[in-house]
Amino acid sequence: MDLNLVWQRESVVGEGPVWWKDTLYWVDIIPGHVLALNPETGHQREWRIGEQVGTVVPCRGGDLLLACETGFKRLDLGTGKVIPLNSPPLATMQGRFNDGKCDPAGRFFAGTMSDTGRGSLFRLDPDGSWSTVHQGVSCSNGLCWQGERFYYIDSPTRKVDIFDYQPQTGAISNPRPAFTTAPLSGIPDGMTIDKTGNLWIAFWEGACVRCFHPATGELLEEIPIPALKVTACWFGGPLLDTLFITTASLGLSPEERAQFPLSGSVFSCKPGVRGLPTTPFPR
């Protein structure tokens, strides 16, 4: 399988790739940059938010929805203006927002990371209200949905959890382990799902993306990435058959930088399966 270098850039923590209308969006968390690339034309854009940005999702109306250091924000792509939205208080967040995506109905799920293990997973509904849907989180990361199942990663646990999911309300309940990744190198980070229902997971300090069967935890495929800290992946392209992969350069030693000089860049490959269309936030 050929691996392509999509954008060579020493992002500190490139994260949260999402495909929307011929464009790949993602963030560089620490400096607070939102990035965009049309792979067909090569057109690039960048917005500097002024605070750390954990993830980005498209809005149906054309803007972007952000989960930032201080809460939910909307980015007007025309003016670059950042508009605060109704958000959990900082004391409730217990840390900055990290990964997040919209569920199949367009509700925005995003979680926080906390050294104390007191972070949470939150849901922002299309009416602008927010709620806490899961607590006791250390580093909220990958999340995806399939029917009445919700898959979720709290990275330090080194496992994928499964919840019962109610598509009509967005409620999640009954968390239990789906499978563990503990025997493998690296820490599970961002995650996406393909049309067959298999899970694709980026591995921080694992230099790879791995594909798993969600019911058995069987390792189906491993894609080596020339970056030690692989952060997230998402299917895109006109046929949704291209897996885009973000990476980080944060905290690398001089030896690791020499071994992985493309750390922080974005890569892509075609693993032979297709992903699901991105669901935007409705507002």
Q: What pLDDT digit, counting tens, does each position of 173-194 carry?
A: 999 999 999 999 999 999 999 9
Provide CATH code, domain 3-269: 2.120.10.30
pLDDT band at 237 (very low <50, low <70, confident <90, very high): very high
By the 10 Å C-beta count (0-12 exposed, 13-18 middle, 19+ buried), 158 is classed as: middle
Average pLDDT of the chain?
96
The runs of H, that is alpha helices, within the chain are: 90-93, 254-259
Residue 99's contacts (CB-CB under 8 Å, 6 or more residues apart) are 15, 16, 54, 55, 110, 111, 140, 141, 142, 143, 189, 190, 232
pLDDT of 1 reads 73
Here the tokens at position 279 are 């669901």
pTM above 0.95, yes or no: yes
pLDDT band at 227 (very low <50, low <70, confident <90, very high): very high
Residue 67's contacts (CB-CB under 8 Å, 6 or more residues apart) are 53, 54, 55, 56, 97, 98, 100, 108, 110
Mean pLDDT calculated for residue range 84-100: 93
CA 280 to chain CA mean position, Å? 14
Mean pLDDT calculated for residue range 16-44: 97
Contact assessment for residue 152 and residue 143, using Cβ atoms and an 8 Å cutoff: yes
Mean pLDDT calculated for residue range 26-51: 96
Distance in angstroms (rounded) separating the CA atoms of residues 103 and 164:
13
Phi, psi of 259 (to 5 degrees): -75, -35
Here the tokens at position 47 are 């917005």
pLDDT of 102 reads 98
